[in-house]
Chain A
Amino acid sequence: MIRLKVNGADQSFNGEPEMPLLWYLRDILRLTGSKFGCGVGLCGACTVHVNGQATRSCVTLMRETAGKEVTTIEGLEKNGLHPVQKAWMQINVPQCGYCQIGQMMQAAALLESKKKPSDHEIDEAMAGNICRCGTYQRIRAAIKAAAEQMA
């Protein structure tokens, strides 16, 4: 039995401890905001927060989540929209949108640790998140806009 918190709620998991967190969230808890993109931690579409750290849920095993607090896009902000979500809308970032959940989770974690990241710091922090539609320059702009909102 693995006990963890997901979006503030206590959960317990009796299944295979080797199951990646992503599939627990998607197939079992039915929190489908976090996306499957590569399965090996190369694209960032599955990014969630584990104890506040941006984490690739597709390569994080359930046994590694015991006692941890997991936050997904569904729990990123309790009231309304998180500043990164507002900024993503303001800058009109998404095209297909599939990777954007992971992008926003990564960006939200970045802004927790760096209040006003430079272009270089943004590129470094976001280089693990692929967007095949190619929205990168808007992502960069949106992170700056969110930083302004959070300042």
Chain B
Amino acid sequence: MSAIENVSRRRFLTGGVIAAGALVLGVRYYHKLLPGDRLPHDTNADHATLHPSAYLGINPDGTVWIVAHRSEMGTTNRTTLPLVVADELDADWKRVKIEQAIGDKRYGDQNTDGSHSIRSYYDAMREAGATARFMLIQAAAREWGVPAAQCETDLHVVVHRSTNRNAGYGELASAAAKLRVPAKAELKLKQKSAWRYIGKGEVSYDLEALVTGKAIYGMDARAETMVYASVEHPPVLGGRVKSCDDTEALKVAGVRQIVSIDPFQGAPGFQPLGGIAVIADNTWSAFQGRKKLKLSWDNGANESYNSDQYKNELRETSHKPCKVVRNIGDADAVFAKGGKVFEVDYYVPLLAHASMEPMVALAEFKDGKVTAWAPTQNPQAVQDTVAKELGIAKEDVICHVTLLGGGFGRKSKPDYVAEAAVLSKKMRRPVKVVWTREDDIKFDYYNAVASMYMKATVGANGKPTAWLQRSVFPPIPSIFDVNTVYGDPAHLQQGWTDIPYDLPNLRIENGPAKAHVRIGWLRSVANIYHAFAIQCFTDELAHAVGRNPLDYLLDLIGNPRTIDFTGVEYPNYGAAMDAYPWETGRLRRVTEMVAEKSGWGKRKHGKGSGVGIAAHRSFLTYVATVVEVEVNNQGQVRIPRVDMVLDAGVVVNPEATRAQFEGAAVFGSSVVRSGEITATKGAITQSNFQDYPVARINEAPQQTNVYIVESDAPPAGVGEPGVPPFIAAFCNAIFAATGKRVRDLPISKLGLS
């Protein structure tokens, strides 16, 4: 292993068992540089001989450096995006080295959320690879004095077949580097038949590091002179310290100092919550010191918040006319005609992320600049937030991105990184802030609590002739403006305004709700409660009118068509409608396929056993799910089998995609079984896995079968779309098995476990 001369990196990672160079993310190979040769944020790709793009570089030894600019939290995008570059480059994957980008706007958006890493960067990665390949071909053609059009590439070489000549990428790198970088229009992307990696995939680049304990997460980042911090936050959002007696805390061995952090100004945003930090020589001493603090708080206005009362308020709001966000025909006129009307309320409580790695960050403030190491989904938000907090320029915040021990949306919000930066400035040395699990559960940005009111009346064939749906939930933008109470189009689109049913009279409404805790994105976000309400209500109607739930669902989806969103504010997850139209035929197809794959209607289900079905599009991906459950006399619920079919357009990495959907079924199991965060007098009740349980191996589905539809449509999301239909199908299966309707999550409220 070569020596590292990169001072800024070495300072953070040398010594101990982490040998110099065996550093973050398995990026182990730094070529030798002269002191002062580069900025801390330069990459090996930047310094490679041929580097036509910020995303890659090629050295004379044939090494291809590819920059992973988005965060790795388990979705394998750190491998899958470079794989797309390597494919267009015709590179040998074994000669590719991946390095992690810092937060830097030159890479474009780095907020690794919304299941769009592949979707948004598929073209950019292909172009980066194709650009280098174009230049390598040009270089070889000049060298050989033949037309470039006669040259082609094979694995890591340019070849001229008629003269039987070939040259490796490494030997061509210098000559290629002297050539003009081609314009996008000159590039010829590979035909699908020539793809090496797209559609086949690869295992994680970090796989061996992950199983040997060598992978470096935020929790593992270290600077030689750092101290550890643990922060006591105000128990109620917006609270302030009234009094603090730190006498006993300072007596704890290893505790150095007690430091206060100012409460946030205005709306919370991504600012630190404020509170009292215990600074110590090691993590445990910091935790112990906290237990000895004697604190009293001024809780502020959110002290009035109680979950039980709030639930009633949401429900009452949903029973009155609210803001219309989409309308077709005249549902009220049909309801006024009389006939049987079906009305059902659905409820989903606040949900916490509970990533296995609690919030943690290391930061050093020095000479007016901050260097941070953090498991963040959004390093540019770290730059913005830290810069604002410390009154420095965004460019003076260097954010290195470690591996993330799970994220699920929580780590898009860098409040914990800002805490480390603020404390480092006060301490004049690197500070590592470590949140406990209790901090993580109590100070999350929760998935919104939501109440949905559903109303329908049906015609002769059992099909709805009028349909009304109202949702009420505290919206995510409330973290930036506390007066925001209505759902925004970006979250109303999530399975609500885009109900795919072919209905003659449809009205969709949204009601106001004030937030009293921080609301944030959690895997699948608003799709969780919207799909739950629509897909469970569909199942209820099917049973009420005596129809097979599968046939009924297909009937409601109707004939293949493109949904017309005229007059509806529908952002389509930020994607163009012409590239990603909402095609009901694709939802139909996955539904029909999952019925076939799961043996719908063909398998016998005994007493206490049953299956449920649901279909949903989110993050531009179409998914249908069948869940089988068994419920015994004690109310214990097993999930022997799950079948999922997805159409996500082109799937680059099928194995990683299957893993995401298997994981989505487990994530959804947690939501249905036990996911509930509540507050009393504004403070969160739950604290750790004993009162916020998540699915364990015996509670998760025993077998999840994932089927991927072969498609040439542009790539869509895979991290989140598996969750929403699983939740609804699971609840529908519980009804099939027990006759109990799940309308109020989690099912522990029904005496099921």
Seen from chain A, the residues whose Cβ lies within 8 Å of a Cβ on chain B are 15-16, 19-20, 23, 26-40, 42-43, 45, 72-74, 81, 85, 88-89, 92-101, 104, 119, 122-124, 126-140
Instruction: Find out whether the CB atom of B703 lies under 8 angstroms from the CB atom of A16.
Output: no
| A98 vs B690: C-alpha distance when bound (angstroms) | 20
How far in angstroms is the closest Cβ of chain A from B433? 13
Instruction: Find out whether the CB atom of B356 lies under 8 angstroms from the CB atom of A136.
Output: no
Instruction: Find out whether the CB atom of A133 lies under 8 angstroms from the CB atom of B688.
Output: no
Q: Which of A20, A34, A81, A124 contacts B212 (CB 8 A)?
A: A81
Given A32-B220, A74-B213, also A137-B284 (CB < 8 A)? no
| A128 vs B203: C-alpha distance when bound (angstroms) | 27
How far in angstroms is the closest Cβ of chain A from B561? 34
Q: Which of B204, B213, B355, B663 contacts A134 (CB 8 A)?
A: B663
Given A27-B284, A96-B73, A96-B403, also A134-B212 (CB < 8 A)? no
* Other A-B pairs, 7, CB within 8 Å; known A37-B356, A74-B17: A35-B405, A40-B688, A97-B210, A98-B217, A130-B356, A135-B659, A137-B701
Given A20-B284, A27-B283, A129-B697, also A34-B74 (CB < 8 A)? no
Q: Does B655 contact A (CB under 8 A)?
A: yes
Cβ of B703: which chain A residues have Cβ within 8 Å of it? 137
Q: Which of B206, B434, B701 contacts A36 (CB 8 A)?
A: B434
Q: Does B219 contact A (CB under 8 A)?
A: yes
Instruction: Find out whether the CB atom of B689 lies under 8 angstroms from the CB atom of A42.
Output: yes
What are 24 sample pairs from A and B whose C-beta atoms fall under 8 A apart? A27-B284, A30-B15, A30-B222, A33-B213, A35-B356, A36-B357, A37-B356, A43-B689, A89-B211, A92-B204, A95-B76, A95-B659, A95-B660, A96-B74, A96-B357, A96-B406, A127-B697, A130-B689, A131-B356, A132-B406, A133-B356, A136-B697, A136-B700, A137-B702
Instruction: Find out whether the CB atom of A33 lies under 8 angstroms from the CB atom of B437.
Output: no
Q: Which of A32, A40, A93, A137 contacts B213 (CB 8 A)?
A: A32
Cβ of A23: which chain B residues have Cβ within 8 Å of it? 282-284
Cβ of A85: which chain B residues have Cβ within 8 Å of it? 211-212
Q: Does B228 contact A (CB under 8 A)?
A: yes
Seen from chain B, the residues whose Cβ lies within 8 Å of a Cβ on chain A are 15-18, 72-76, 203-204, 206-208, 210-217, 219-220, 222, 228, 253-254, 282-285, 287, 354-358, 403-408, 434, 436-437, 655, 659-660, 662-667, 669, 688-690, 694-698, 700-704
Cβ of B206: which chain A residues have Cβ within 8 Å of it? 97
Instruction: Find out whether the CB atom of B213 lies under 8 angstroms from the CB atom of A39.
Output: no
Given A81-B211, A129-B697, A134-B666, also A96-B356 (CB < 8 A)? yes
How far in angstroms is the closest Cβ of chain A from B229? 13
| A88 vs B408: C-alpha distance when bound (angstroms) | 23
Instruction: Find out whether the CB atom of B700 lies under 8 angstroms from the CB atom of A104.
Output: no
Instruction: Find out whether the CB atom of B210 lies under 8 angstroms from the CB atom of A123.
Output: no
Instruction: Find out whether the CB atom of B694 lies under 8 angstroms from the CB atom of A130.
Output: yes
| A120 vs B699: C-alpha distance when bound (angstroms) | 12
Cβ of A140: which chain B residues have Cβ within 8 Å of it? 697
Instruction: Find out whether the CB atom of A96 lies under 8 angstroms from the CB atom of B694.
Output: no
Question: Once A and B bind, how many residue pairs between them come within 8 Å at the CB atom?
Answer: 190
- Chain B interface main SS type: loop
Q: Tell which of B216, B285, B357 has the most Cβ of chain A within 10 Å.
A: B357
User: Which A-chain residue is minimally distant from B687 (CB atoms)?
Assistant: A40
Given A45-B356, A94-B207, A96-B406, also A134-B700 (CB < 8 A)? yes
Cβ of B436: which chain A residues have Cβ within 8 Å of it? 39
Instruction: Find out whether the CB atom of A36 lies under 8 angstroms from the CB atom of B219.
Output: yes
Instruction: Find out whether the CB atom of B282 lies under 8 angstroms from the CB atom of A27.
Output: yes
How far in angstroms is the closest Cβ of chain B from A12? 17
How far in angstroms is the closest Cβ of chain A from B269? 26
How far in angstroms is the closest Cβ of chain A from B276? 19
Cβ of B357: which chain A residues have Cβ within 8 Å of it? 35-37, 96, 98
User: Which A-chain residue is minimally distant from B696 (CB atoms)?
Assistant: A127
Given A38-B437, A98-B406, A140-B697, also A33-B222 (CB < 8 A)? no
Cβ of B358: which chain A residues have Cβ within 8 Å of it? 36-37
Q: Which of A31, A40, A124, A137 contacts B17 (CB 8 A)?
A: A31
Cβ of B356: which chain A residues have Cβ within 8 Å of it? 35, 37, 43, 45, 96, 98-99, 130-133
Instruction: Find out whether the CB atom of B282 lies under 8 angstroms from the CB atom of A101.
Output: no
Cβ of A89: which chain B residues have Cβ within 8 Å of it? 203, 207-208, 211
| A45 vs B358: C-alpha distance when bound (angstroms) | 12
Cβ of B210: which chain A residues have Cβ within 8 Å of it? 94, 97, 100
| A132 vs B356: C-alpha distance when bound (angstroms) | 6
Instruction: Find out whether the CB atom of B659 lies under 8 angstroms from the CB atom of A73.
Output: no
Q: Which of B212, B405, B664, B667 contacts A33 (CB 8 A)?
A: B212
Given A16-B253, A30-B17, A96-B403, also A38-B688 (CB < 8 A)? yes
| A93 vs B73: C-alpha distance when bound (angstroms) | 14
Instruction: Find out whether the CB atom of A39 lies under 8 angstroms from the CB atom of B659.
Output: no
Cβ of B666: which chain A residues have Cβ within 8 Å of it? 131, 133-136
User: Which A-chain residue is minimally distant from B201 (CB atoms)?
Assistant: A92
Instruction: Find out whether the CB atom of B16 lies under 8 angstroms from the CB atom of A30.
Output: yes
| A40 vs B692: C-alpha distance when bound (angstroms) | 13
Given A92-B655, A95-B659, also A133-B213 (CB < 8 A)? no
Nearest 9 Cβ contacts at the A-B interface: A33-B213, A134-B666, A98-B405, A96-B74, A95-B74, A30-B16, A134-B663, A97-B210, A73-B213
How far in angstroms is the closest Cβ of chain B from A70? 14
| A38 vs B439: C-alpha distance when bound (angstroms) | 10
How far in angstroms is the closest Cβ of chain A from B646? 16
Cβ of A20: which chain B residues have Cβ within 8 Å of it? 284
Given A30-B222, A42-B688, also A96-B404 (CB < 8 A)? yes
How far in angstroms is the closest Cβ of chain B from A100? 6
| A36 vs B688: C-alpha distance when bound (angstroms) | 13
How far in angstroms is the closest Cβ of chain B from A22? 8
Instruction: Find out whether the CB atom of B211 lies under 8 angstroms from the CB atom of A100.
Output: yes
Instruction: Find out whether the CB atom of B284 lies under 8 angstroms from the CB atom of A134.
Output: no
Cβ of B203: which chain A residues have Cβ within 8 Å of it? 89, 92
Instruction: Find out whether the CB atom of A39 lies under 8 angstroms from the CB atom of B437.
Output: yes
How far in angstroms is the closest Cβ of chain B from A137? 6
| A129 vs B356: C-alpha distance when bound (angstroms) | 11
Cβ of B405: which chain A residues have Cβ within 8 Å of it? 35, 96-99
Cβ of B214: which chain A residues have Cβ within 8 Å of it? 33
Instruction: Find out whether the CB atom of A138 lies under 8 angstroms from the CB atom of B437.
Output: no
| A72 vs B666: C-alpha distance when bound (angstroms) | 28
| A119 vs B15: C-alpha distance when bound (angstroms) | 43
Cβ of B211: which chain A residues have Cβ within 8 Å of it? 81, 85, 88-89, 93-94, 97, 100, 104
